[in-house]
């Protein structure tokens, strides 16, 4: 996953920075809200149920988008694309952790720590001397 942002037009919503489309942003927001409502954790079965309801267009939720604020809508998103474009990238970035033993998905703060590492890498790059050899 590639995160692209313009520091002069940085949105207030982290999902707008991470996801390419409004629909992906909405689904990710609803997923995190659902995890929070479940104490920050969902079993593999619960996640599958969430993805199935989403796939069938039967996931009722409120979304905070122009034209929809305060209204309940049925959200629809392809199940395979949910796993490929939403859940897996959120796991790989450290936003969601999957515990193999408990078979549960949990909200994680590893994303924050990894973004800080990116900042440190940039600081190191700035301090490198001009003639530093490139690694192949």
Domain ranges of the chain: 10-109
- pTM equals 0.87
User: Would you state the torsion angle of the CA atoms of residues 43, 99, 118, 12, taken in this order, to the nearest 10 degrees?
Assistant: 20
Average predicted confidence (pLDDT) for the chain: 92
Q: Of all residues in the chain, what percent carry a pLDDT higher than 90?
A: 73
Using the predicted structure, report yes or no on whether residue 66 has a pLDDT greater than 90: no
Q: Which of 69, 70, 74 is nearest to 27 (CA)?
A: 74
The CATH class, in words, for 10-109 is mainly alpha
Question: Band of the pLDDT at 4, cuts 50, 70, 90?
Answer: confident
Backbone angles phi, psi at 66, to 5 degrees: -55, 135
For residue range 76-105, list pLDDT tens digits in order.
999 999 999 999 999 999 999 999 999 999
Across 41-54, average pLDDT? 97
Mean pLDDT of the 47-55 span: 97
């Amino acid at each position: 996953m590639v995160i692209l942002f313009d520091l002069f037009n940085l949105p207030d919503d982290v999902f707008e920075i991470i996801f390419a489309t409004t629909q992906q942003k909405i689904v990710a927001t609803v997923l995190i809200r659902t995890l929070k409502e479940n104490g920050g954790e969902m079993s593999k079965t619960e996640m599958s149920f969430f993805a199935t309801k989403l796939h069938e267009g039967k996931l009722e939720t409120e979304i905070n988008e122009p034209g929809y604020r305060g209204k309940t809508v049925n959200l629809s998103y392809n199940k395979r694309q949910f796993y490929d474009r939403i859940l897996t990238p959120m796991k790989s970035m450290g936003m969601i952790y999957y515990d193999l033993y408990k078979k549960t998905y949990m909200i994680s703060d590893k994303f924050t720590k990894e973004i800080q590492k990116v900042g440190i890498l940039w600081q190191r790059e700035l301090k490198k001397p001009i003639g530093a050899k490139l690694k192949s």
